[in-house]
Chain A
Protein backbone atom coordinates (compact mmCIF):
# COMPACT_ATOMS: atom_id res chain seq x y z
CA UNK A 1 0.00 0.00 0.00
CA UNK A 2 1.24 3.43 -0.86
CA UNK A 3 1.95 5.98 1.76
CA UNK A 4 -0.51 8.82 1.69
CA UNK A 5 -3.06 6.93 -0.36
CA UNK A 6 -6.45 7.01 1.23
CA UNK A 7 -10.12 6.91 0.63
CA UNK A 8 -11.90 9.85 2.11
CA UNK A 9 -15.59 9.94 2.64
CA UNK A 10 -18.40 12.09 3.76
CA UNK A 11 -18.84 11.06 7.35
CA UNK A 12 -22.46 10.15 7.94
CA UNK A 13 -22.72 9.18 11.57
CA UNK A 14 -25.67 10.97 13.09
CA UNK A 15 -24.74 12.97 16.17
CA UNK A 16 -27.48 14.44 18.36
CA UNK A 17 -30.05 13.66 15.69
CA UNK A 18 -28.47 15.34 12.68
CA UNK A 19 -25.83 14.34 10.17
CA UNK A 20 -22.87 16.76 10.36
CA UNK A 21 -21.88 16.04 6.70
CA UNK A 22 -18.21 16.15 7.58
CA UNK A 23 -15.57 14.98 5.12
CA UNK A 24 -13.31 12.57 6.97
CA UNK A 25 -10.27 10.62 5.80
CA UNK A 26 -8.20 8.06 7.66
CA UNK A 27 -4.65 7.77 6.35
CA UNK A 28 -2.68 4.59 7.02
CA UNK A 29 1.13 4.68 7.26
CA UNK A 30 3.25 2.26 5.23
CA UNK A 31 5.08 1.17 8.37
CA UNK A 32 2.85 1.54 11.38
CA UNK A 33 4.73 2.63 14.51
CA UNK A 34 1.97 1.11 16.64
CA UNK A 35 1.08 4.42 18.24
CA UNK A 36 -2.37 5.95 18.78
CA UNK A 37 -3.96 7.84 15.87
CA UNK A 38 -3.37 11.55 15.33
CA UNK A 39 -6.37 13.82 14.73
CA UNK A 40 -5.64 16.98 12.73
CA UNK A 41 -7.89 20.04 13.14
CA UNK A 42 -7.40 22.79 10.57
CA UNK A 43 -7.89 26.54 10.91
CA UNK A 44 -10.62 28.97 9.87
CA UNK A 45 -11.02 29.34 6.12
CA UNK A 46 -8.62 26.44 5.51
CA UNK A 47 -9.15 22.71 4.94
CA UNK A 48 -7.39 19.41 5.57
CA UNK A 49 -5.83 19.71 2.14
CA UNK A 50 -4.53 23.26 2.56
CA UNK A 51 -3.55 23.05 6.22
CA UNK A 52 -2.16 19.51 6.37
CA UNK A 53 -1.65 17.92 2.94
CA UNK A 54 -0.16 20.68 0.77
CA UNK A 55 2.05 21.78 3.67
CA UNK A 56 3.69 18.35 4.00
CA UNK A 57 2.22 17.50 7.42
CA UNK A 58 0.34 14.43 6.31
CA UNK A 59 3.32 12.81 4.60
CA UNK A 60 5.64 13.70 7.50
CA UNK A 61 3.29 12.03 10.00
CA UNK A 62 2.79 8.98 7.75
CA UNK A 63 6.56 8.68 7.30
CA UNK A 64 6.83 8.69 11.09
CA UNK A 65 4.49 5.69 11.14
CA UNK A 66 1.48 7.56 12.47
CA UNK A 67 -2.09 6.80 11.53
CA UNK A 68 -3.78 10.11 10.72
CA UNK A 69 -7.39 11.26 10.85
CA UNK A 70 -8.24 14.40 8.90
CA UNK A 71 -11.58 16.14 8.91
CA UNK A 72 -12.83 19.23 7.11
CA UNK A 73 -14.73 21.54 9.45
CA UNK A 74 -18.35 22.36 8.50
CA UNK A 75 -18.53 24.73 5.53
CA UNK A 76 -14.87 24.08 4.75
CA UNK A 77 -13.09 21.92 2.16
CA UNK A 78 -15.21 18.98 1.08
CA UNK A 79 -17.56 18.97 4.06
CA UNK A 80 -21.17 19.97 3.69
CA UNK A 81 -22.48 23.39 4.62
CA UNK A 82 -25.53 22.76 6.80
CA UNK A 83 -28.06 25.57 6.98
CA UNK A 84 -28.72 25.41 10.70
CA UNK A 85 -26.42 27.54 12.81
CA UNK A 86 -26.17 24.89 15.52
CA UNK A 87 -24.02 22.71 13.22
CA UNK A 88 -21.28 25.34 13.52
CA UNK A 89 -21.19 25.77 17.27
CA UNK A 90 -17.81 24.84 18.80
CA UNK A 91 -19.52 22.44 21.25
CA UNK A 92 -21.31 20.67 18.39
CA UNK A 93 -18.08 20.51 16.36
CA UNK A 94 -16.28 18.96 19.35
CA UNK A 95 -19.04 16.34 19.69
CA UNK A 96 -18.69 15.55 15.98
CA UNK A 97 -14.90 15.29 16.26
CA UNK A 98 -15.29 12.85 19.14
CA UNK A 99 -17.59 10.68 17.02
CA UNK A 100 -15.21 10.89 14.07
CA UNK A 101 -12.27 9.80 16.26
CA UNK A 102 -14.19 6.83 17.69
CA UNK A 103 -15.44 5.77 14.27
CA UNK A 104 -11.81 5.86 13.07
CA UNK A 105 -10.86 3.44 15.82
CA UNK A 106 -9.57 5.68 18.61
CA UNK A 107 -10.16 4.16 22.04
CA UNK A 108 -9.81 5.53 25.59
CA UNK A 109 -6.32 5.69 27.08
CA UNK A 110 -5.14 2.58 28.91
CA UNK A 111 -2.00 2.79 31.03
CA UNK A 112 0.96 1.21 29.25
CA UNK A 113 -0.85 0.80 25.93
CA UNK A 114 0.79 3.12 23.39
CA UNK A 115 -1.88 2.45 20.78
CA UNK A 116 -4.69 3.63 23.05
CA UNK A 117 -5.95 7.17 23.14
CA UNK A 118 -5.63 9.94 20.59
CA UNK A 119 -3.09 12.65 19.84
CA UNK A 120 -4.44 15.94 18.53
CA UNK A 121 -2.74 18.63 16.45
CA UNK A 122 -4.59 21.87 15.81
CA UNK A 123 -3.77 25.08 14.01
CA UNK A 124 -5.29 28.50 14.81
CA UNK A 125 -9.06 27.94 15.22
CA UNK A 126 -8.15 24.24 15.24
CA UNK A 127 -5.98 24.89 18.32
CA UNK A 128 -8.88 26.50 20.11
CA UNK A 129 -11.02 23.44 19.34
CA UNK A 130 -8.15 21.12 20.34
CA UNK A 131 -7.68 22.93 23.67
CA UNK A 132 -11.38 22.53 24.51
CA UNK A 133 -11.44 18.97 23.14
CA UNK A 134 -8.46 18.01 25.32
CA UNK A 135 -9.99 19.69 28.38
CA UNK A 136 -13.28 17.84 27.94
CA UNK A 137 -11.86 14.44 26.84
CA UNK A 138 -9.15 13.57 29.38
CA UNK A 139 -9.87 9.84 29.08
CA UNK A 140 -9.16 9.91 25.35
CA UNK A 141 -6.55 12.57 24.56
CA UNK A 142 -2.91 11.64 25.17
CA UNK A 143 -1.14 14.84 24.08
CA UNK A 144 -1.93 18.12 22.33
CA UNK A 145 0.08 20.13 19.82
CA UNK A 146 -1.34 23.64 19.40
CA UNK A 147 -0.09 25.70 16.47
CA UNK A 148 -0.63 29.47 16.25
CA UNK A 149 -2.61 29.39 19.52
CA UNK A 150 -4.13 32.38 21.25
CA UNK A 151 -5.85 33.37 24.48
CA UNK A 152 -8.79 34.89 22.61
CA UNK A 153 -10.49 33.98 19.36
CA UNK A 154 -10.06 36.74 16.74
CA UNK A 155 -13.28 35.49 15.16
CA UNK A 156 -15.21 36.61 18.26
CA UNK A 157 -14.55 40.26 17.33
CA UNK A 158 -15.50 39.78 13.69
CA UNK A 159 -18.01 42.44 12.54
CA UNK A 160 -20.74 40.25 11.02
CA UNK A 161 -23.07 43.13 10.17
CA UNK A 162 -20.33 44.94 8.27
CA UNK A 163 -19.43 41.71 6.45
CA UNK A 164 -23.06 41.17 5.44
CA UNK A 165 -23.35 44.74 4.15
CA UNK A 166 -20.15 44.31 2.21
CA UNK A 167 -21.38 41.07 0.64
CA UNK A 168 -24.77 42.60 -0.17
CA UNK A 169 -23.70 45.84 -1.81
CA UNK A 170 -19.95 46.31 -1.45
CA UNK A 171 -20.05 48.75 1.49
CA UNK A 172 -16.42 48.93 2.67
CA UNK A 173 -15.62 47.27 6.01
CA UNK A 174 -14.11 49.66 8.56
CA UNK A 175 -12.62 47.05 10.89
CA UNK A 176 -9.31 45.87 9.48
CA UNK A 177 -9.35 42.45 11.15
CA UNK A 178 -12.86 41.75 9.81
CA UNK A 179 -11.89 42.89 6.32
CA UNK A 180 -8.75 40.73 6.39
CA UNK A 181 -10.55 37.60 7.57
CA UNK A 182 -13.26 38.03 4.94
CA UNK A 183 -10.66 38.58 2.22
CA UNK A 184 -8.93 35.37 3.30
CA UNK A 185 -12.24 33.49 3.31
CA UNK A 186 -13.15 34.76 -0.16
CA UNK A 187 -9.74 33.94 -1.63
CA UNK A 188 -10.52 30.24 -1.71
CA UNK A 189 -13.18 29.02 -4.10
CA UNK A 190 -13.82 25.91 -1.96
CA UNK A 191 -15.13 28.05 0.90
CA UNK A 192 -18.83 28.46 1.36
CA UNK A 193 -18.81 32.06 2.51
CA UNK A 194 -22.24 31.95 4.15
CA UNK A 195 -21.32 28.78 6.03
CA UNK A 196 -18.17 30.52 7.26
CA UNK A 197 -20.26 33.44 8.48
CA UNK A 198 -22.53 30.96 10.28
CA UNK A 199 -19.44 29.53 11.94
CA UNK A 200 -18.42 32.99 13.12
CA UNK A 201 -21.93 33.67 14.37
CA UNK A 202 -21.91 30.38 16.28
CA UNK A 203 -18.48 31.15 17.73
CA UNK A 204 -19.80 34.47 19.04
CA UNK A 205 -22.43 32.56 21.00
CA UNK A 206 -19.73 30.31 22.52
CA UNK A 207 -16.70 32.57 22.91
CA UNK A 208 -13.36 30.99 23.63
CA UNK A 209 -12.33 31.12 27.27
CA UNK A 210 -9.27 28.92 27.73
CA UNK A 211 -9.30 29.48 31.51
CA UNK A 212 -12.74 27.91 31.79
CA UNK A 213 -11.35 24.43 31.23
CA UNK A 214 -7.63 23.71 30.99
CA UNK A 215 -6.40 20.46 29.42
CA UNK A 216 -4.34 18.33 31.76
CA UNK A 217 -2.45 16.26 29.21
CA UNK A 218 1.04 17.41 28.09
CA UNK A 219 0.93 20.22 25.53
CA UNK A 220 3.30 21.67 22.98
CA UNK A 221 2.53 25.24 21.93
CA UNK A 222 4.14 26.46 18.70
CA UNK A 223 3.91 29.77 16.86
CA UNK A 224 5.83 31.92 14.43
CA UNK A 225 7.99 34.62 15.98
CA UNK A 226 6.08 37.35 14.10
CA UNK A 227 2.63 35.78 14.34
CA UNK A 228 0.50 38.62 15.72
CA UNK A 229 -2.50 36.29 16.03
CA UNK A 230 -0.56 34.10 18.47
CA UNK A 231 1.04 36.92 20.45
CA UNK A 232 -0.60 35.68 23.66
CA UNK A 233 0.84 32.15 23.43
CA UNK A 234 3.04 32.71 26.55
CA UNK A 235 -0.06 33.64 28.59
CA UNK A 236 -1.74 30.46 27.40
CA UNK A 237 1.28 28.43 28.52
CA UNK A 238 1.20 30.25 31.85
CA UNK A 239 -2.47 29.42 32.25
CA UNK A 240 -1.69 25.75 31.62
CA UNK A 241 1.22 25.79 34.08
CA UNK A 242 -0.95 27.40 36.80
CA UNK A 243 -3.45 24.58 36.35
CA UNK A 244 -0.65 22.06 36.86
CA UNK A 245 -0.28 21.06 33.20
CA UNK A 246 2.98 20.71 31.30
CA UNK A 247 3.08 23.15 28.41
CA UNK A 248 6.24 23.45 26.34
CA UNK A 249 6.63 26.35 23.94
CA UNK A 250 8.46 26.64 20.64
CA UNK A 251 8.89 29.85 18.67
CA UNK A 252 9.70 29.61 14.95
CA UNK A 253 12.13 32.39 13.95
CA UNK A 254 10.89 34.74 11.22
CA UNK A 255 7.58 32.94 10.71
CA UNK A 256 4.08 34.46 10.73
CA UNK A 257 0.58 32.99 11.10
CA UNK A 258 0.42 31.93 7.43
CA UNK A 259 3.86 30.49 6.87
CA UNK A 260 4.57 28.88 10.24
CA UNK A 261 2.43 25.96 9.06
CA UNK A 262 4.95 24.51 6.62
CA UNK A 263 7.94 24.81 8.96
CA UNK A 264 10.04 21.64 9.23
CA UNK A 265 11.03 22.60 12.76
CA UNK A 266 7.32 22.70 13.66
CA UNK A 267 6.67 19.26 12.17
CA UNK A 268 9.76 17.67 13.68
CA UNK A 269 9.03 19.09 17.13
CA UNK A 270 5.43 17.88 16.98
CA UNK A 271 6.32 14.38 15.78
CA UNK A 272 9.02 14.00 18.41
CA UNK A 273 6.78 15.36 21.17
CA UNK A 274 3.94 12.98 20.30
CA UNK A 275 6.21 9.95 19.97
CA UNK A 276 7.55 10.13 23.51
Chain B
Protein backbone atom coordinates (compact mmCIF):
# COMPACT_ATOMS: atom_id res chain seq x y z
CA UNK B 1 0.00 0.00 0.00
CA UNK B 2 1.09 3.54 -0.69
CA UNK B 3 -0.05 6.86 0.65
CA UNK B 4 -1.06 9.68 -1.64
CA UNK B 5 -1.54 13.20 -0.35
CA UNK B 6 -3.80 15.76 -2.01
CA UNK B 7 -3.37 19.47 -1.25
CA UNK B 8 -6.11 22.09 -1.33
CA UNK B 9 -6.36 22.83 -5.08
CA UNK B 10 -6.19 26.24 -6.70
CA UNK B 11 -9.76 27.48 -6.44
CA UNK B 12 -9.33 30.09 -9.14
CA UNK B 13 -10.09 33.82 -9.11
CA UNK B 14 -6.85 34.51 -7.25
CA UNK B 15 -8.07 32.85 -4.06
CA UNK B 16 -5.29 31.70 -1.78
CA UNK B 17 -7.14 30.02 1.07
CA UNK B 18 -10.40 28.38 2.04
CA UNK B 19 -12.20 27.60 5.28
CA UNK B 20 -13.33 24.07 6.05
CA UNK B 21 -17.09 23.95 6.55
CA UNK B 22 -17.66 20.25 7.00
CA UNK B 23 -15.87 17.00 6.26
CA UNK B 24 -18.06 14.42 4.55
CA UNK B 25 -15.61 11.55 5.05
CA UNK B 26 -13.56 10.29 8.01
CA UNK B 27 -10.29 8.42 8.36
CA UNK B 28 -10.90 4.75 7.62
CA UNK B 29 -13.64 5.41 5.07
CA UNK B 30 -13.39 3.75 1.70
CA UNK B 31 -14.37 6.38 -0.87
CA UNK B 32 -15.24 6.24 -4.53
CA UNK B 33 -13.89 8.56 -7.17
CA UNK B 34 -16.05 11.73 -7.41
CA UNK B 35 -17.61 11.06 -4.01
CA UNK B 36 -17.99 14.37 -2.13
CA UNK B 37 -15.12 14.78 0.36
CA UNK B 38 -15.43 18.14 2.02
CA UNK B 39 -17.27 21.45 1.86
CA UNK B 40 -15.06 24.51 1.86
CA UNK B 41 -15.82 28.22 1.72
CA UNK B 42 -13.79 30.98 0.12
CA UNK B 43 -14.40 34.71 0.32
CA UNK B 44 -16.54 34.34 -2.82
CA UNK B 45 -18.50 31.12 -2.56
CA UNK B 46 -18.93 27.72 -0.97
CA UNK B 47 -17.95 24.59 -2.91
CA UNK B 48 -17.98 20.85 -2.42
CA UNK B 49 -14.78 19.08 -3.45
CA UNK B 50 -15.22 15.65 -5.06
CA UNK B 51 -12.70 12.88 -4.52
CA UNK B 52 -10.10 12.74 -7.29
CA UNK B 53 -9.75 8.98 -6.85
CA UNK B 54 -10.96 5.88 -5.07
CA UNK B 55 -9.14 4.79 -1.93
CA UNK B 56 -9.15 4.56 1.83
CA UNK B 57 -8.94 7.82 3.76
CA UNK B 58 -5.89 7.82 6.03
CA UNK B 59 -5.86 11.39 7.30
CA UNK B 60 -7.82 14.60 6.90
CA UNK B 61 -6.38 18.02 7.65
CA UNK B 62 -8.30 20.75 9.43
CA UNK B 63 -11.72 20.83 11.08
CA UNK B 64 -14.74 23.08 10.67
CA UNK B 65 -13.69 26.73 10.80
CA UNK B 66 -10.00 26.04 10.06
CA UNK B 67 -8.36 27.92 7.22
CA UNK B 68 -6.23 25.99 4.75
CA UNK B 69 -3.95 27.62 2.19
CA UNK B 70 -3.96 26.52 -1.43
CA UNK B 71 -1.22 23.87 -1.76
CA UNK B 72 -1.33 22.76 1.87
CA UNK B 73 -2.26 19.13 2.64
CA UNK B 74 -5.99 18.46 2.72
CA UNK B 75 -6.42 14.69 2.64
CA UNK B 76 -4.27 11.55 2.47
CA UNK B 77 -5.41 8.32 0.83
CA UNK B 78 -4.10 4.79 1.00
CA UNK B 79 -4.08 3.13 -2.40
CA UNK B 80 -2.75 -0.20 -3.72
CA UNK B 81 0.89 0.08 -4.80
CA UNK B 82 0.19 -0.61 -8.43
CA UNK B 83 -2.09 2.42 -8.76
CA UNK B 84 0.05 4.90 -6.84
CA UNK B 85 2.06 5.74 -9.93
CA UNK B 86 -0.85 7.01 -11.97
CA UNK B 87 -2.60 9.26 -9.51
CA UNK B 88 -1.15 12.37 -11.03
CA UNK B 89 -3.10 11.73 -14.21
CA UNK B 90 -5.73 14.34 -14.85
CA UNK B 91 -9.15 12.68 -15.11
CA UNK B 92 -10.33 12.97 -18.69
CA UNK B 93 -13.87 11.67 -18.64
CA UNK B 94 -15.46 14.93 -17.60
CA UNK B 95 -16.57 17.49 -20.11
CA UNK B 96 -14.17 20.42 -19.96
CA UNK B 97 -15.25 22.83 -17.30
CA UNK B 98 -13.71 24.82 -14.52
CA UNK B 99 -14.76 22.52 -11.74
CA UNK B 100 -12.01 22.45 -9.18
CA UNK B 101 -10.26 19.13 -8.80
CA UNK B 102 -7.71 17.90 -6.36
CA UNK B 103 -4.46 16.59 -7.75
CA UNK B 104 -1.84 14.54 -6.00
CA UNK B 105 1.52 15.44 -4.53
CA UNK B 106 3.64 12.42 -5.34
CA UNK B 107 6.07 11.27 -2.69
CA UNK B 108 9.70 10.99 -3.68
CA UNK B 109 9.46 7.19 -3.61
Q: Which residues of A are in contact with B by a Cβ distance under 8 Å?
A: 2, 4-6, 49-50, 53-56, 59-60, 187-189, 254, 258-259, 261-264
- Judging by beta carbons under 8 Å apart, are B22 and A53 in contact? no
Complex alpha-carbon distance, A259 and B97, angstroms: 22
Say whether A2 contacts B44, CB under 8 Å: no
Interface range on chain B (Cβ under 8 Å from partner): 20 to 34
Instruction: Report chain B residues within 8 Å CB of A60.
Output: 36
Given A262-B21, A263-B39, is A55 in contact with B47 using a C-beta cutoff of 8 Å?
A: yes
Q: At the interface, yes or no: B99 with Cβ under 8 Å from chain A?
A: yes
Judged by a CB distance under 8 angstroms, whether B81 is at the interface is no
User: Which B residues are closer than 8 A to A by beta carbons?
Assistant: 13, 21-22, 24, 34, 36, 39, 41, 44-48, 50, 64, 93-95, 97-100
Could you say which residues of chain A place their CB within 8 Å of the CB of B41? 258-259, 262
Interface contact A54-B95, CB-CB below 8 Å: no
User: A49 — which chain B residues lie within 8 A by C-beta?
Assistant: 97-98
What is the CA–CA distance of A258 and B46 in the complex, to the nearest angstrom? 7
Chain A residues lying within 8 Å of B21, measured Cβ to Cβ, are 259, 262-263
- Given the interface pairs A59-B34, A258-B41, A263-B39, the reply to whether A5 lies near B95 with Cβ below 8 Å is yes
User: How many angstroms between the C-alpha atoms of A151 and B47 in the bound complex?
Assistant: 27
Chain A: minimal CB distance from B15 (Å): 11
Contacts of B46 in A (CB 8 A): 55, 258-259, 261-262
Beta-carbon contact of A59 and B50 below 8 Å? yes
Report the bound CA distance from A5 to B98 in whole Å: 14
Q: Are B44 and A188 in contact (CB under 8 A)?
A: yes
- The interface centre, meaning the residue of A5, A6, A56, A261 with most chain B CB atoms within 10 A of its CB, is A56
Taking the nearest CB of chain B, how far is it from the CB of A125, in angstroms? 15
Most buried by B among A60, A188, A189, A262: A262
Residue of B nearest to A254 (CB): B64
Q: Please list the 7 inter-chain residue pairs (A to B) with the smallest Cβ-Cβ separation, ordered nearest first.
A: A56-B48, A262-B39, A259-B46, A262-B46, A54-B47, A259-B41, A262-B48
